[in-house]
Structure 1
């Protein structure tokens, strides 16, 4: 049951990241071949020689491009009929695109950011999905239109791959947006693609999507066009043809930001036109483009975060939840960028003028040590970025220290005040955010996904390539490692720094391998249940008493302030309900711990039947939600049997009371003596219903379990006819019942009598709520626009009597006038939902055979 995933599953997970690394290595090889005669100093000379007016225009057009990107979200929300404050939409859009443009994986990064914060802004999962689909389609439709019409109108260099297919490729790409615009009128009905039905937008909406996307891409192209050397200016149309092909190659490669792939295609495209000798200026223009179009927005986002944090501290007001939840992944991304900047800086030579100043004020040893340590700090920042994403307190402290240290080292190794400014700004923005990094777990316990590991390796590979590119004129010899000089020591320093960074990463990897093995799952003993009992009794949900069954593993936090109860079926690690405990920090930490434990074991962490008030616990770890039903809770403060709607219940209770029916509450220590009578009733009830014991989310007739809770007994005269064990919280927040059994040939209405009597007793005892339990699939929508899961659940609710009387259960509980509260299944991204549903259903039903039996 706890087996690790097979070899094929691992290979599938590795295929994408490995393909990206392969594409990056291929692009670096192509760049090395195309720029074999180019020196790093020539590239730097072109960048420093760019006119100020061209740089200013490029910055303005970049701002315009990111402004147009906001329209993606603006029109997407308008399309689904939702309105949010403009400042909120603009900030979410800007930060998501600043990250996705710089780091690549646009759909994953920008989509996850939108999901997280639009959910907190009040949108449903289906509405967020529609916005993400709308913006993604706009992005690709605009690129497709711009590429298609450009290829049809403008020739491309014959030496580019597939250049002979320019016309057919251009025609296909141009046809896609045209069909999208005219689709609703041509078809007049939803488009069917395999199993999916796609509702085509109206002509105006589709045209707006294509135009916004095309303008966005056109502005991005013109930024680079302004920076290109005048000698290769053969018109914007010719430039645009090569630009869009290079962008498509970068996007398809899934290399972060298309790094290397985009540059290789651009260099090949312009080099093929007889522009030999201009490789250095072209590379310089591409480097300046990276700085302006990718790096500056990230820098601006850092300033925005710093301003918001400072304003929040000055006004002593808490920042909006949607914004504060964004900060940890935001800081993680910037920390990774900062680490890459330090590594790339260590791989290149410093400016001669700055080195001359250092020679007069610093000993050579200080320069050498600073250069070496700055690259080591860069590698450590790449690693710590994962800890920040996981909200680790230790990662926060170490990152803050290393950012300050990295700023100092940047000044000492070459007066790199640009790097020092970036690192200092990030440190200033990070300093007041300590409360966001609350986890006390060790960095070595943090799990690194294959994608994250490969991203770190890719940065190191790029740094190695930069060393080779920057010092290709230096002939390698073993003596290089031991050369120390102000003017001729650049290559030795870069080599030593690269090895130091690689060694730091390797040491961390080795230390992580020595972490404790994953725990051996076992059912709780009596000591564990006694440890959990105070937490159960003081929790605000009576359903926490299900832990007393002892059929689920208990995961406690380090200080026993909270626990999670869970079981494992296949690859699914299913937690029953939310973490149990009053301490919010402990509950939040347990969600992270549980997820980390599942990832190390190759499993899927799931939280079954979680409440709406606790959704932020799972949003923080990047989980999604599927509504699985509604829970009925009766507000006891207003509960009574008065009124016309309660006439039937009132008459039933009065009649049964006159016939001698009564309820008695028995304390837990007196239940053991009643067990023989209770078992006879339970066996008779199960024979009559033709059912089997379930488990996990429901109690079973297990004497040791029943003896841990009080019991409600219903007598008809002196005969015991029904019973139910009770869940009662010490804080009087909620009362509930679990296992209910009655004699099949007993008096009709006995269950109504039991429920009403328990609610009246609970109200007299001072309880606020009475929990009637969940109605599965209740409240799910079966509209065309609803997600597939919601429509399937609604169908089962209405027509699933063969498996379970879902509608009847909801109708029965509804007659007590409860408050219906939604309950969800929290699931991670990228899992096989059908298999997950089968695993959860198997646990709830007491095994696979129970899924098809009542």
Structure 2
């Protein structure tokens, strides 16, 4: 309401703020006084502005984004107006615009899920202030948010599922198993529906109904624990989940015709059966000797504790003519989490004692299942250096890409094909074989057959494969074997003979080179063998580069700072007038005479922009 004096002040402050922001941007763009003051106080600010200035703004893209954004806002206003009109209220374009603007402002500042909750409350509040009743305001808000938020959210979720189905194939069954476990526990612990209970009692015995309820409860507990191992891809966890789902279906029907819980179990079982190929990880199925001894001692202690306790309780409270067999029956039932014999009347003291045995037994059973179901990961074998040397000789004949050098790095395993002249370089992690690029072959007509041979080899070891940085020309061969592709980038190849710094497109690069040269920097080519003194300075630069942004060495498709390796390689250093090394890169050994590839590019924090 602009009639209020505070509204005019707020509007004036907003106008002044945007004008000041525009003037500040213009001053920095033209390198005026404000820019000079800021760059004198902060060298990093100058580097940021220079880096920002390199990237030319696509004006068409900016204008297109603004136009699309305005159209989206107009559609939002129209949705709110249509919601009023559809409910046969008094629609107002002015009211719809004001309400939508407030909703957008709350959307900007809201930290959770596009302002859910905050926007709904604000829209209801504004509509009520405009004269709508509470019911009318709420109905308008629900209809508006249905088309503005919930329907796009559902469509986006469907699109996400369609694009990352491999991930969800592993996640959804585990989540459903967890939900089924919770449903089973709640169903077993809550009273049944009376009509269904009476009907079940007419068809089944009370003992069967109680037993079914017990099995549903136990199945729920183990389903929750099993969900974690299912997510890890354990084959044993998968088979156990199938059995537990069948128990859940049968148990929920027998205990009181709880068909809703049985339907959840049927859906979970169906999805498990449909995703059976996703579970290949073998369990450990072996228990370390010390852990096994601990379990045996724990079992012996609980048996001794249970027998002594049963004799004491019988002498003090029960006063029954119990034999050793009866005491063992009571102990066994509680260790297996079963009901106590009908002749045993349990007092409060006895109840706490037997409950302690139940808990002790349940914890031990869970621990035992954890040991048995834990996935058995393939240990990283020792690298066979003779295989690496043989692969190196083959690369001189079959050079494939600039990454060939890393295929014989000391972290790789080599698989030589039996039916083709070539090999695969890979590294194992848990139950995965990660292949660097594709097979190296003398005859690439055998590519598909070679991939199949390696896949069979990995299947025998229960390893799942994926291939990192394969060439575009071999994608069809991988896809024919039902592999899915993900574009992660493109190879940057530069023709040195035809490269030039002239032209508008090279302006930013040309400015960076000129700036570096004017600062007195020079590039020095250091031929092998590299002296230890220089390597010490390079190691200092490398450590500073790693520590500045909390980086770590990654050695799969790139190298690391290896003293002995760098000593035999050509290294380019950038040094200032005092001879201080500000940056360096190393040239990788190449198996092709036509290509040159660099690996490490590392620099110190105070290195100027464009180095």
TM-score of the aligned structures, taking structure 1 as reference length: 0.30
Q: Which has the larger radius of gyration?
A: 2
TM-score of the aligned structures, taking structure 2 as reference length: 0.39
